[in-house]
Amino acid sequence: MGRKIYLDGNMVPENEARISVFDIGFMYGATVYESLRTFRHKIFKMDEHLARLERSLRYIGLEPGAIIGEVADAVKKVLSANIHLTDKDDDVWMCAQVTPGKGFPHPVLKQTDYRPTIIVFDTNMPYADYVRYYSEGAGIVTTRVRNISPEVIDCRVKHRSRLHFFLAKREAMAQDPDAYAVLMDGNGNISEATGANFFTVSGNKLYTPPEKNILVGISRQTVIGLAGEMNIPVVEKDMNLYDVYNSDEAFLTTSSYCILPISRVNGVKTGAGKPGAVTNKLLDAWSETVGVDIVEQARRFSGI
Amino acid sequence: MGRKIYLDGNMVPENEARISVFDIGFMYGATVYESLRTFRHKIFKMDEHLARLERSLRYIGLEPGAIIGEVADAVKKVLSANIHLTDKDDDVWMCAQVTPGKGFPHPVLKQTDYRPTIIVFDTNMPYADYVRYYSEGAGIVTTRVRNISPEVIDCRVKHRSRLHFFLAKREAMAQDPDAYAVLMDGNGNISEATGANFFTVSGNKLYTPPEKNILVGISRQTVIGLAGEMNIPVVEKDMNLYDVYNSDEAFLTTSSYCILPISRVNGVKTGAGKPGAVTNKLLDAWSETVGVDIVEQARRFSGI
Amino acid sequence: MGRKIYLDGNMVPENEARISVFDIGFMYGATVYESLRTFRHKIFKMDEHLARLERSLRYIGLEPGAIIGEVADAVKKVLSANIHLTDKDDDVWMCAQVTPGKGFPHPVLKQTDYRPTIIVFDTNMPYADYVRYYSEGAGIVTTRVRNISPEVIDCRVKHRSRLHFFLAKREAMAQDPDAYAVLMDGNGNISEATGANFFTVSGNKLYTPPEKNILVGISRQTVIGLAGEMNIPVVEKDMNLYDVYNSDEAFLTTSSYCILPISRVNGVKTGAGKPGAVTNKLLDAWSETVGVDIVEQARRFSGI
Amino acid sequence: MGRKIYLDGNMVPENEARISVFDIGFMYGATVYESLRTFRHKIFKMDEHLARLERSLRYIGLEPGAIIGEVADAVKKVLSANIHLTDKDDDVWMCAQVTPGKGFPHPVLKQTDYRPTIIVFDTNMPYADYVRYYSEGAGIVTTRVRNISPEVIDCRVKHRSRLHFFLAKREAMAQDPDAYAVLMDGNGNISEATGANFFTVSGNKLYTPPEKNILVGISRQTVIGLAGEMNIPVVEKDMNLYDVYNSDEAFLTTSSYCILPISRVNGVKTGAGKPGAVTNKLLDAWSETVGVDIVEQARRFSGI
Amino acid sequence: MGRKIYLDGNMVPENEARISVFDIGFMYGATVYESLRTFRHKIFKMDEHLARLERSLRYIGLEPGAIIGEVADAVKKVLSANIHLTDKDDDVWMCAQVTPGKGFPHPVLKQTDYRPTIIVFDTNMPYADYVRYYSEGAGIVTTRVRNISPEVIDCRVKHRSRLHFFLAKREAMAQDPDAYAVLMDGNGNISEATGANFFTVSGNKLYTPPEKNILVGISRQTVIGLAGEMNIPVVEKDMNLYDVYNSDEAFLTTSSYCILPISRVNGVKTGAGKPGAVTNKLLDAWSETVGVDIVEQARRFSGI
Amino acid sequence: MGRKIYLDGNMVPENEARISVFDIGFMYGATVYESLRTFRHKIFKMDEHLARLERSLRYIGLEPGAIIGEVADAVKKVLSANIHLTDKDDDVWMCAQVTPGKGFPHPVLKQTDYRPTIIVFDTNMPYADYVRYYSEGAGIVTTRVRNISPEVIDCRVKHRSRLHFFLAKREAMAQDPDAYAVLMDGNGNISEATGANFFTVSGNKLYTPPEKNILVGISRQTVIGLAGEMNIPVVEKDMNLYDVYNSDEAFLTTSSYCILPISRVNGVKTGAGKPGAVTNKLLDAWSETVGVDIVEQARRFSGI
């Protein structure tokens, strides 16, 4: 019995989870979403994710009240329906998406169905994609493609109008096949990776781009919290490649891998060219907090 | 027997046309498309549309060759399958969409299916949405939401990462419930409506924003061509509200309504506050070119 | 015996207070000024106002020494001449303006009279304009018209070259007849209302735009001081509509109403859509500091 | 019997022409105006001036109809009342100003008098200010103060919110006491002088900044027309100091002096450091067109 | 007897041509220069090069008169001293440089020697670097490093403050070892290669970036001239990667290789991925004009 | 026996210290360097200088390891070779420069010699240039020439592509012959002087531009450190002329004069128009720290 997906109020088999081609999420990229993961089979920082989703909904003009409730329920349902497929020491990644509903052919002005489309699905953790970077460090390419301006869509909204992320990923892969893409903002400062936040370590301090030009990740806030507990100062400031080439360490944060050490940026070695001491300490602290050895779990269940 | 939609090589009933939630078109807004219409049951300017689609595909890194062929075939198939549903004096609107395929949960890096998703569907002309504006003129609201910068995604690509268009439409409706949204570029110059190009008429000349910040519409090029034949000079230049408030006439162009007279912008009367003489002359010329009285057809089949 | 106005060294009846059409204040908008009010018939924060006027004068190249002295005297004279017209529990609003003098027809190069024009006048508090917003909250519209760049005129100078404020007010009124206009800076961040500063409250913290793009209001500094005493943190940061739509409360500050609760921005409800708890606490604290119940006074003397 | 000024419907003696301190023109710099001159006692290009005033009025939201009529009448009245003071071979400069009326203390929202304030006055031509530059050439300083962005107020509106012009003039005088100030736009391109347009001559072509960032002068258009008749090509393009330092000639245009040769920019000699051949030819052509030897008239009546 | 270099008035052997470390050209990058080549042992477009050098000198504040004369003489001297080293069917590349002189340690304020440093040297044509690209086409990488803004140094000045060119070359090489670097301007439009101009061919028209953001190459002007004679329209317009990926052909122009076909940009095939027909036609036309088969000469003397 | 200079591994007499005209430092302005001075014949903050040089080298892509070692040695050698020329109470200024080596005629792609060029030289302190400003205060001119954008070359790299500094100095001298040039960044905020950092004092606080747009001087950091010890708060913030005209004091910092009081900016008196109390206190503190009376030393050895 395979995975089930929550779709418009129903639990449907994964391979039957399809949406109308007239859905505004598909026609306008007008989907807002959250990306979550479990630790020990519990959703990590559920409240923070729902609060951010609420802000995204309000920004795109959907009344958050009922939607947030339905999403919270759906997350529980999906977890309860599928968790038996997951080893007790393994975990899952989950995605909750909301679109404004259906409209055709002129969304908004003549929307045909105002009921939001709500989709929640989970999947195995994609350990194989990144597990080796815990020891090797991953590569980053900073792309020509720039991040979208807040005058167009505020970066703090987690949405799916991300053709520029798709383009940035392709551009990064063309230069360094395994590298992650990092976009600059309109002024040439580092903004964010496509779905992850960026940190450097210099002289035992953490540096990360300020909130104005990024999706403010729950994982980013987790790292800032852990650093606080470990008395590592965190400085939010605009950074460019001068900062990166002269930093001791660098890493990305996102909900799946939590913290991913970076060992090269645009082909240039970062610090010692391998995961740094502060990066590893933060990763250890995170593991301790959630009661899961994050790296060990990824190795054990990566299937590699 | 209802309309059929072309989806991934098959003709399927409209209400069964659904795509995977893991389609990159849905997950990244990474869909490129063309919006077409028929005159006398023939697609208008098919070659121009395919040429533009080819440019869009190349920009997002998909090899256009086979895709363009399949889209051309699909358009014919859909037309032939559904045209019997349409009165011989009526016409249809059609949409051809291409996504990079399926990828989950990490599109691009670990794309699971590299076959592009190709969707072609048609529909009745949405006359009821706009027919009265041929005589009254429509309203426009210039929105706070700005158009996306070419440093992020080139405006000449017709794509579906358009949350900002969704937001702009909502913003326009909040100020003037029937108005169309027009976005400014990052410098405060008029860019385009959400799916249409903007023109003004002043002293018997046409003015329209230059190509750098707009989707260069086939309808826009049609108007420029008609104007050429009518010896009406066309000037491509950056414009703002000073130009608009001091113009004699204004109109939008798109594939469905062709030319839509504008009678007010941000609540301010444009010219005489009704469709202008040059606008109407251009519309007449277009009707003549295609052998269909565009306005009359809209009135007859609007169902109002 | 009616109000008297201080004009060029004399006290003249209000309706006779006229300036030459050749005054540079009229010909160039080259007036700097302060807007003041009394509490219990004493000018509030007189020294702070004079210090700011001094900075404005220096910026436009007038030697502040003698002018500041004359303005200080004139304020006293006007207050003493007119205060008998005001109930002992009521107060007055006052305005002190300085222009570079007269020049015609080529100001500066061939200025005809280098004596600055100094004007000081007072008036009844305009309670009727805003008293109901203390309980209902007022509306705000963020305008297309942007605030002037510091590369043209520094925003910290309080001056009368404000055609853009006039345009912004008209634009706001067209969308929401009773709303106040708020302008964005050149980067799309919130700058200020036309003659007032903007604050939000989120999670019991105050947020307000930083000094670089605003007229740094004495009332704004008063609120920051009160918040400090109440242990409410104040964060100066760039904000846009994402912040506003997701804030708990919002308010404006200016010398007349002191603090004005905001209940909607661009037609969207702010927080609970009514004056918030923190806003009201700050207003109470201000009332206490000055020994005047600000809201009660406005209600009693509004004439409504 | 001295000059009379048209003010609010009446003809009043010049030294009694005063406006209320509560006039919105004074309180907001919200005055739009035209600056005119006569040739042989006839207003030059009256229709062009009224058309531009009409555009300015529409931009600031005043219904132009009645105002334009009153201004046209007032210009005639002032001319007829005062022309006897002027030698038959001399001419006058005239200014027509319109403000939105009176409002206090909250213009617009609570405007107290919606009748526009209309002022028209004339004066002797200020020949003494510039006559020697016809033979010597004048100096220009390009200022740190930048011109206002069209996102704030469109540069094509002729208005009196010009504190930045006042500041620019002072800055220019501080560097070169007799020099005219020229402002750059926000991108560092040459915009305009404070009340005049800028031209260079290179290789027998005229170059002048494009319309988007300037007040489009009637005199500028006159020069473009004359150049057309003389088969001198005119190129509208963005220019900076590289262009200026490498041009053969430069001049300003405005309604009083018509064409003013420039001989130095920021202390650097322009071309041969004296009025150029093309500049002089254009000035001669202008003189011929209007039947007045512009330079000779200035010399004769300059009083120097 | 080896090559001689002109240095400060003397002809010195190449390996003894050294400048003071206190030269302002070395201390400030304040060198302006021209890069020339011969055809049939005659300098190509000598007058155009001297005219541009004159403009560069004027821009940096050096009086061009005497310098231009000395440079013209020096070019002749170098040619006459070294041309015997060159086969009669081969040619040479030459460089003429001017610095403001010596100053230490505070150039300008306390310049120690105001005599400009003038250096002229020639060398074999570097055919081996590029000869194979005439048949294969070369690669281009558009770099993260942007071109300098005209508000800092006008791009039309040919100077040696080019650390950004050095950085761009390294960046290009890291991605594609044989590729040429092309820089974007501050708005993300294509500016120029490091020492060459960029052209595309689309639908039998030439497109090239406008003069405002480039060093306006003599070779670029030669191509524009040749295109004119061949009735190929040339459009100067801002371009970005959308234009490049959708063009039929692309090429670079500079004084050494004249026209260099481009076959890939950022790893993406340009047009057919080989030198295009229009490109080759222009190259043939150039060869004909100068009486040298440019490609054949490069093959014969490349030493490969 | 005169001074010796370290050049490419050798100690050579000063007037024989010449570099190849093909050095990339001369051909591309691709030199990075440090400017140092001694106190009591010891290099001040040697480690900080070497650390910054290391960051500069890494940014331009040179492996710092061996270079830093050689530079450190060379500084010692030069000091030991020349210090006997300096009075025991006097000190020297020193400069250490590194270029990528030689390349001709196509640096980087075909670099002919990859050994970096390393030059270290010292000189007498240039007291005569500035000694009188310790008592009078110096003048500053803020130039039209803007500072280079970090998107082109990061300002934190100390390099010699500084034609814009040369231009700025000339511009400043043209307005005020003895004044120092200060450049604004691309947004019109104060960046830095040509080789020095800028500070103001207001209300007993220090203000200085933030690191993002400046060369972060070792002297600047020294002042920040001294201020910390003296409990004077230091605020890093964007500043413009409003701040400067309204500040109490201003000064520059660099390695030679350490702290230079400013008494006028653009001809406008700063504060009291003479060195301020806080400025002098900081200078005294610096003198005390290094055991040298900085002002007294300058006076004694200035040779005036």
By CB atoms closer than 10 A (0-12, 13-18, 19+), residue F69 is exposed
pLDDT (mean) for E224-250: 97
Residues E132 and E126: their CA atoms lie apart, in Å, by: 12
Helices (H), chain B: 24-28, 46-59, 64-82, 127-130, 133-136, 163-175, 218-229, 241-245, 277-290, 294-301
Q: HSE (CB half, 13 Å, CA atoms) of E221?
A: 11
Q: What is the mean pLDDT of chain C?
A: 94
pLDDT value of residue B295: 98
- Checking if the pLDDT of A149 tops 70, the result is yes
- Checking if the pLDDT of E107 tops 50, the result is no
Q: How far off is chain A from C168, nearest CA to CA, in Å?
A: 19
pLDDT tens-digit map of F52-70: 999 999 999 999 999 999 9
CB pairs under 8 A between A and E: 18
CA angle B229, B231, B234 (to 5 degrees): 95
pLDDT value of residue E112: 67
pLDDT tens-digit map of C4-55: 999 989 999 988 888 888 899 999 999 999 999 999 999 999 999 999 999 9
pLDDT value of residue D181: 96
Three-state SS letters, chain E:
CCCEEEECCEEEEHHHCEEECCEHHHHHCCCEEEEEEEECCEECCHHHHHHHHHHHHHHCCCCHHHHHHHHHHHHHHHHHHHHHHCCCCCCEEEEEEEECCEECCCCCCCEEECCCEEEEEEEECCHHHHCCHHHHCEEEEEEEEECCCCCCCCCCCCECCCHHHHHHHHHHHHHCCCCEEEEECCCCCEEEECCEEEEEEECCEEEECCHHHCCCCHHHHHHHHHHHHCCCCEEECCCCHHHHHCCCEEEEEECCCEEEEEEEECCEECCCCCCCHHHHHHHHHHHHHHCCCHHHHHHHHCCC
Q: How confident is the model at residue F72 (pLDDT cuts 50, 70, 90)?
A: very high
Which one of F242, F248, F265, F268 would you mutate to disrupt binding with C, by most C Cβ within 10 Å of its Cβ?
F242
D40 touches chain B (CB under 8 A): no
Q: How far off is chain F from C195, nearest CA to CA, in Å?
A: 20
Contact F113, F8 (CB under 8 A): no
Q: Give the residue among F9, F25, F6, F12 at the shortest CA–CA distance from F75.
A: F6
Q: What is the mean pLDDT of chain E?
A: 94
Contact B21, B33 (CB under 8 A): no
Instruction: Provide the 8-state DSSP code for D179.
Output: P
Nearest-by-CA chain B residue for C175? B175
pLDDT tens-digit map of B144-202: 999 999 999 999 999 999 999 999 999 999 999 989 999 999 999 999 999 999 999 99
Query: Which two tokens mark B132?
Result: 């009265």
- Checking if the pLDDT of D82 tops 90, the result is yes
- Helix E277-290 with E294-301: angle, nearest 10 deg: 80
Candidate from E13-17, E229-233, F95-99, F136-140 with smallest mean pLDDT: E13-17
pLDDT value of residue D62: 94
Beta strand F205-208 with F234-236 is parallel
pLDDT tens-digit map of E248-261: 999 999 999 999 99
End-to-end Cα distance, chain D: 25
Nearest-by-CA chain C residue for D25? C26
Query: Which two tokens mark A227?
Result: 């650093």
Q: Give the residue among D222, D157, F121 at the shortest CA–CA distance from E20.
A: F121
* Residue D94 neighbours by CB under 8 Å, 6+ apart: D35, D36, D37, D38, D43, D75, D78, D79, D120, D121, D122, D123
Q: Give the residue among B242, D150, D27 at the shortest CA–CA distance from C194.
A: D27
Q: What is the mean pLDDT of chain A?
A: 94
Buried b (16+ CB within 10 A) or exposed e, D198-234: bbbbbeeebbbbeebbbbbbbbbebbbebbeeeebeb
Name chain D contacts of E156, Cβ cutoff 8 Å: 242
pLDDT tens-digit map of D167-211: 999 999 999 998 999 999 999 999 999 999 999 999 999 999 999
Beta strand A205-208 with A234-236 is parallel
* Residue C34 neighbours by CB under 8 Å, 6+ apart: C49, C50, C52, C53, C71, C95, C96, C158
Say what the alpha-carbon torsion angle D43, D48, D50, D52 is, to the nearest 10 degrees.
Answer: -140
Strand partners for C122: C94
- Checking if the pLDDT of F1 tops 70, the result is no
H or E element that contains D175: helix D163-175
pLDDT value of residue D21: 83
Out of A144, A175, A188, the one facing E142 most closely (by C-beta) is A144
How many Cβ atoms from other residues are within 10 Å of residue B268's Cβ? 15
pLDDT (mean) for E92-105: 88
Residues F108 and F28: their CA atoms lie apart, in Å, by: 10
Rg of chain A over CA atoms, in angstroms? Answer: 19
* Residue F10 neighbours by CB under 8 Å, 6+ apart: none
Interchain CB distance below 8 Å, A245 and F156:
no
Distances (CA, A) of E49 to E9, E101, E157, E240: 20, 22, 12, 29
Q: How confident is the model at residue C106 (pLDDT cuts 50, 70, 90)?
A: low
Per the model's pLDDT, the better-predicted residue between E261 and D112 turns out to be E261
Residue type (1 letter), A284: D
Out of F187, F240, F268, the one facing C154 most closely (by C-beta) is F240
Which one of B26, B34, B130 would you mutate to disrupt binding with A, by most A Cβ within 10 Å of its Cβ?
B26
Contact F200, F190 (CB under 8 A): no
Query: Which two tokens mark D237?
Result: 């393009």
CB pairs under 8 A between B and C: 18
Residues B103 and B111: their CA atoms lie apart, in Å, by: 4
Interchain CB distance below 8 Å, C175 and B175:
yes
Q: Give the residue among B122, B116, B70 at the shortest CA–CA distance from B95.
A: B122
Rg of chain E over CA atoms, in angstroms? Answer: 19
Instruction: Give contacts of D 43-62 with B, CB under 8 A.
Output: 55, 58-59, 61
Residue type (1 letter), C21: V
pLDDT (mean) for E24-34: 94
Query: Which two tokens mark C219?
Result: 């009332």
Contact C99, C23 (CB under 8 A): yes
Q: Give the residue among A201, C186, B221 at the shortest CA–CA distance from F187.
A: C186
pLDDT tens-digit map of D247-297: 999 999 999 999 999 999 999 999 999 999 999 999 999 999 999 999 999
- Checking if the pLDDT of F107 tops 50, the result is no
Per the model's pLDDT, the better-predicted residue between A98 and D104 turns out to be A98
pLDDT value of residue D303: 85
How many percent of chain C have pLDDT more than 70? 97
Give the strands of the sheet with D10-13, arranged side by side.
Answer: D10-13, D4-7, D117-124, D92-99, D32-39, D42-43
- Checking if the pLDDT of A229 tops 50, the result is yes
Out of F61, F149, F154, the one facing A242 most closely (by C-beta) is F154
Per the model's pLDDT, the better-predicted residue between A57 and B213 turns out to be A57
In tens digits, chain B (304 residues) has pLDDT values of 689 999 989 999 987 888 888 899 999 999 999 999 999 999 999 999 999 999 999 999 999 999 999 999 999 999 999 999 999 999 999 999 999 998 765 544 566 677 999 999 999 999 999 999 999 999 999 999 999 999 999 999 999 999 999 999 999 999 999 899 999 999 999 999 999 999 999 999 999 999 998 999 999 999 999 999 999 999 999 999 999 999 999 999 999 999 999 999 999 999 999 999 999 999 999 999 999 999 999 999 998 8
How many Cβ atoms from other residues are within 10 Å of residue B19's Cβ? 22
B188 touches chain C (CB under 8 A): yes
CA angle E195, E198, E203 (to 5 degrees): 165
Handedness of CA F282, F284, F289, F295 (dihedral sign): positive
pLDDT value of residue D105: 53
CA angle F77, F81, F84 (to 5 degrees): 135
What secondary structure does DSSP assign to D48-84, as a single string?
HHHHHHHHHHHHHT--HHHHHHHHHHHHHHHHHHHGG
Name chain A contacts of B17, Cβ cutoff 8 Å: 20-21
What secondary structure does DSSP assign to chain C, as a single string?
---EEEETTEEEEGGG-EEETTBHHHHH---EEEEEEEETTEETTHHHHHHHHHHHHHHHT--HHHHHHHHHHHHHHHHHHHGGGS-TT--EEEEEEEE--EE-SSTTTTEEE-SPEEEEEEEE--HHHHTTHHHH-EEEEEEEEEPPPTTTS-TTS-BS--HHHHHHHHHHHHHSTTPEEEEE-TTS-EEEETTBEEEEEETTEEEE--GGGS---HHHHHHHHHHHHTT--EEE----HHHHHT-SEEEEEETTTEEEEEEEETTEEPTTSS--HHHHHHHHHHHHHHTS-HHHHHHHHS--
0.90 exceeded by pTM: yes
Interchain CB distance below 8 Å, D266 and F171:
yes
Q: How far off is chain A from F63, nearest CA to CA, in Å?
A: 11
Residues C303 and D77: their CA atoms lie apart, in Å, by: 45
Contact B287, B294 (CB under 8 A): yes
Interchain CB distance below 8 Å, C242 and A55:
yes
Number of H helices, E strands in chain D: 10, 18
Q: How far off is chain B from A243, nearest CA to CA, in Å?
A: 23
Name chain F contacts of E13, Cβ cutoff 8 Å: none
